[in-house]
């Protein structure tokens, strides 16, 4: 069974997610932006979700973490929770 670790920033609007991606591209620290903007409880930990198995997260989120390149910022990814900015740290 595949597992992965990721950080994410969850926001209510696609516009804000896109602004966060621009800030990340300019070198803003992911953890700092997660603490400031994320509406997920993981925001307090810099967006760190820890390790999880394939299928534990909602479908759109899972697809990014398990199929897209590692250590790259992806998003906005829309789920029923809002818009995610996702960075996969590793995958096994």
Residues 15-70 pLDDT 10s:
999 999 999 999 999 999 999 999 999 999 999 999 999 999 999 999 999 999 99
Q: Is the pTM of this model over 0.85?
A: yes
Residues 74-89 pLDDT 10s:
999 999 999 999 999 9
Please name the fold of domain 3-91: Chitinase A; domain 3 (3.10.50)
Domain map (residue ranges) of the chain? 3-91
Say if CB 1 and CB 62 are below 8 A apart. Answer: no
Strand order in the sheet with 82-91: 48-53, 3-11, 82-91, 73-79
SS3 24: helix
């Amino acid at each position: 069974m595949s597992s992965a670790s990721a950080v994410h920033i969850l926001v209510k609007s696609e516009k804000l997610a896109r602004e966060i991606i621009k800030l990340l591209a300019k070198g803003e620290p992911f953890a700092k932006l997660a603490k400031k903007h994320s509406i997920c409880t993981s925001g307090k930990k810099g967006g760190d979700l820890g390790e999880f198995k394939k299928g534990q997260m909602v479908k759109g989120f899972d697809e990014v973490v398990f199929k897209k390149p590692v250590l790259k910022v992806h998003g906005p990814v829309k789920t029923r929770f809002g818009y995610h900015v996702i960075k996969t740290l590793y995958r096994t």
